[in-house]
Structure 1
């Protein structure tokens, strides 16, 4: 009979604990419980509803957003949940259809900032030297210009419209994505596994594609989720100022602007669309913070 030393017993115990941890069926349940927390579930449901409004608004209302369906300036009721505007159009239908303009434009803006900002940041971080310094000075110039002023200048140059407003908002976020992606690339380049890849005969582009990019763009994608709420707010601001979709096209910022002359007599024209914008933006920020916190 073989005797077991305390060291052997300790090793067997450690291996048993490791094996049990690998097959522990409660681990996925714990992850699912984390996803079902109110701080994650509620913002997710709000964003899903807003996205459903943008994709298929006809499923949520059968009323045309541009047709007169009732008496002008009717308050919220069972027939018209958000009341009617100064021409008798249903405000709930206009808010639902306005999600298509605002959310689609915000997604386009985030994509513009993500793509071009990542290209600039990755190029600067991967090449280094004077080229890196030149690109970062350009980024510093963009960061020095106030966001609203830069977006207004771009919209004036491109012309009014939702697509042009989205491009303008996207350009204002290029510098943020560029700075973050550059810092991540520089950090990953100094890692030992990247040096080992070069030592094994890897070329510049192969190491960049296989090792640097996959390990450096995750925080950039997380930033894109956070920027979505900011983009919705900026698109609505441009629409409020008259640089977005032209009337009578429903757009969240334009809806708030159209009701500002009736604040004293028809509060719902500005309050209810404003609440929708605020709730969607807060939900986006809250969800991105929850995801980032869970990732850490």
Structure 2
């Protein structure tokens, strides 16, 4: 009897481990984030190691001009004979890195403003929130264009401009979360147990208030890609012949009637990535609402 129990114990542990993996796999499938995750992984690999996906140069002529999609040129060629697929793949480095920089700028400065306003309160809260209201009152595109004109053209400056436009959104969300957590019973109990302002802020308030901000960061990544592509389309982003998604779409707008692939295929790539980030953000937000942390 003892021998049977000893032989079953490892198998039970393995079964528990296997069932845990199966539960995670089923949860991912039910949440509908498997395909968006795969799309984002591919896009990130494009940005990190584009040479793994194409052997062609994104800036050199490799074939006839304006050749349609084929087995040799998956996305066709542009007006100068450059491979459009290679330009889209290498353009991921410009567009995604700029979008990540934009989200980082908005996340850091917006969360800092929101946390200070929500944690300190009083006149500081009032002054910071009025500053945030001013940022929200300015149209996003107008504000980003103004900042780019002041800083100068280029992908990095466009990313900073887009990041500044998202500061207000991060600030309002982080402030509301901090105010909500500060009013909870376990925070009051922490203060009653002798906790200082900084210890309670670091151990209880911040860990329980910034999780929704992470979901917003995933959502803002897609928005940042769109805004940076818009600035590139208008000519305020990376200069030619840099392969940047907005610039690729702009270069093909004069050939819409004769070479539809020049704008359609890069546009579809942008749409798929933005929709994937939005779906991932929804999944993170849903998990936050259902679970939460303490």
TM over 0.5: yes
After TM superposition, give the deviation of residue 25 of structure 1 in Å.
7.4
Q: Decide whether aligned partners of structure 1 residues 212 and 91 sit closer, same or farther in structure 2, where only a CA change above 3 A counts.
A: same
How far is 1:26 from its partner? 4.4
Q: What's the CA shift for 1:36?
A: 2.7
Q: Can you list the C-alpha shifts for 1:55-90, whole angstroms capped at 9, x where unaligned?
A: 000000010100000111111111111111111100
1:127 counterpart = 2:120 = yes
Measured at CA, do residues 58 and 133 of structure 1 come closer, stay the same or move farther in structure 2, by a change above 3 Å?
Answer: same
Q: Secondary structure at the match of 1:58?
A: helix
Match of 2:7 in 1: none
Give distance in 1, aligned partners of 2:117 and 2:284. 28
Whole-angstrom distance in 1 between the partners of 2:260 and 2:18: 54
TM-score (norm 2): 0.90
Q: 1:173 aligns with which of 142, 162, 166?
A: 166
Q: Does residue 77 of structure 2 align to residue 84 of structure 1?
A: yes
Gap change, CA 1:212 and 1:52, over 3 Å in 2: same
Q: Of 173, 176, 179, which aligns to 1:186?
A: 179
> Structure 1: how far apart are the matches of 2:39 and 2:17?
33
- One of 278, 281, 287 as aligned partner of 2:274: 281
1:162 maps to 155
Match of 1:4? none
Question: Could you list the runs of 5+ residues in structure 2 that have no partner in the other structure?
Answer: 1-15
Once the two structures are superposed, the pairs formed by residues 253-272 of structure 1 within 5 Å of their partners are 253-272=246-265
Secondary structure of the structure 2 residue equivalent to 1:245: coil
SS at match of 1:47: helix
- 1:99 has 2:87 as partner: no
Q: Tell me how far apart the structure 2 counterparts of residues 210 and 128 of structure 1 sit (CA, whole Å).
A: 19
Match of 1:195 in 2: 188
Q: Equivalent residue for 1:10?
A: none
Give a deviation string over 1:16-58, Cα, whole Å, max 9, x none. Answer: xxxxxxx897465333201134721100000000000000000
Q: Name the Cα RMSD after superposition.
A: 1.4
* Residue of structure 2 in register with 1:117 after alignment: 110
Q: Is 2:54 the partner of 1:61?
A: yes
Aligned to 2:62, what secondary structure does the other structure show? coil
Residue 245 (structure 1) aligned with residue 238 (structure 2):
yes
2:33 matched residue in structure 1: 40
CA distance in 1, matches of 2:37, 2:17: 28
Whole-angstrom CA distance in 1 between matches of 2:285 and 2:25:
16
For residues 169 and 234 of structure 2, the distance between their equivalents in structure 1, rounded to whole angstroms, comes to: 24
Partner of 1:5: none
Which sits farther off after the overlay, 276-285 or 35-44?
A: 35-44
Taking a change above 3 Å as real, the CA distance of residues 75 and 154 of structure 1, as seen in their structure-2 partners, is same
Q: Deviations over 1:107-151 (max 9, x none)?
A: 110010000000000000001001100000000010111111100
Q: Does 1:231 align with 2:201?
A: no
Count residues in correspondence: 274
Compute the displacement of 1:289 (Å).
1.1
- Give distance in 1, aligned partners of 2:287 and 2:190: 31
